[in-house]
């Protein structure tokens, strides 16, 4: 059976914590080389995910990306780190005293400052379980796409062979 080394698969699913998205790409490579882009919450699962790929694929450069996107319906609880916010406001007041022509701080910019807003932690076991299930679907979809591309290549090779 002829299989292509080049393929792409995307699996997404809505979840109470947001939209979970896996994107898996593969290109030709002599050996199996797997790379992951994961959020901090899933870094501890990388070894298991890598094993999952190694059990199903033998060759190719495989890039796997997981994203968790908050949606309007997401069950997300944000809180403000008031100590940090107070400190930032205090520092901006000092700056404004030294240089009166500096504009007042923009509240949205303050909220974007690292550490000012804190998101409630997602249940790690639930996130890991769902991410692994979706990853399995994504890898199987990638394998299916590699096979379909291989079938197309076989047809092209057969056509060209008959023309010769």
For the beta carbon of residue 62, count every other beta carbon within 10 angstroms: 24
* Paired tokens of 55: 């059990």
- In this structure, are residues 41 and 124 in contact, taking their beta carbons and an 8 Å threshold? yes
What does the radius of gyration of the chain's CA atoms come to, in whole angstroms? 24
The Cα–Cα gap between 94 and 86 comes to: 12
The Cα–Cα gap between 72 and 50 comes to: 32
The DSSP bridge partners found for residue 68 are 20
The Cα–Cα gap between 130 and 152 comes to: 33
Residue 163's φ and ψ, nearest 5 degrees, are: -70, -30
pTM for the model: 0.68
- Supply the mean pLDDT for the chain: 87
Domain-wise residue ranges, the chain: 7-74+123-163, 78-119
C-alpha dist (Å) from residue 131 to 20, 25, 36, 142, 148: 7, 17, 13, 16, 25
* Paired tokens of 44: 């501890």
User: So what CATH class is 7-74+123-163?
Assistant: alpha beta
The stretch 83-111 carries a mean pLDDT of: 84
* Paired tokens of 52: 């999952």
* Paired tokens of 132: 């692994």
- In this structure, are residues 68 and 16 in contact, taking their beta carbons and an 8 Å threshold? no
pLDDT in tens, 6-28: 899 999 998 877 789 999 999 99
- In this structure, are residues 34 and 50 in contact, taking their beta carbons and an 8 Å threshold? yes
pLDDT in tens, 104-157: 878 888 878 888 887 666 667 888 899 999 999 999 999 999 999 888 888 999
Query: Is the pLDDT score of 5 beyond 90?
Result: no
């Amino acid at each position: 059976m002829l299989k292509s080394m080049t393929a792409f698969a995307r699996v997404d699913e809505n979840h109470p914590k947001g939209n979970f998205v896996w994107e898996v790409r593969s290109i030709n490579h002599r050996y199996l080389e797997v790379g992951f882009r994961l959020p901090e919450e899933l870094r501890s699962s990388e070894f298991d995910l890598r094993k999952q790929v190694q059990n199903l694929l033998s060759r190719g450069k495989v890039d796997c990306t997981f994203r968790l996107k908050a949606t309007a319906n997401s069950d997300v609880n944000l809180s403000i780190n008031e100590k940090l916010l107070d400190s930032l406001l205090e520092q901006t007041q000092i700056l404004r005293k030294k240089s009166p022509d500096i504009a007042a701080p923009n509240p949205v910019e303050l909220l974007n400052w690292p550490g000012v807003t804190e998101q409630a932690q997602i249940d790690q076991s639930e996130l890991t379980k769902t991410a692994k299930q979706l990853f399995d679907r994504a890898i199987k979809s990638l394998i299916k796409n590699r096979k379909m591309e291989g079938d197309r290549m076989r047809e092209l090779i057969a056509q060209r062979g008959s023309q010769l």
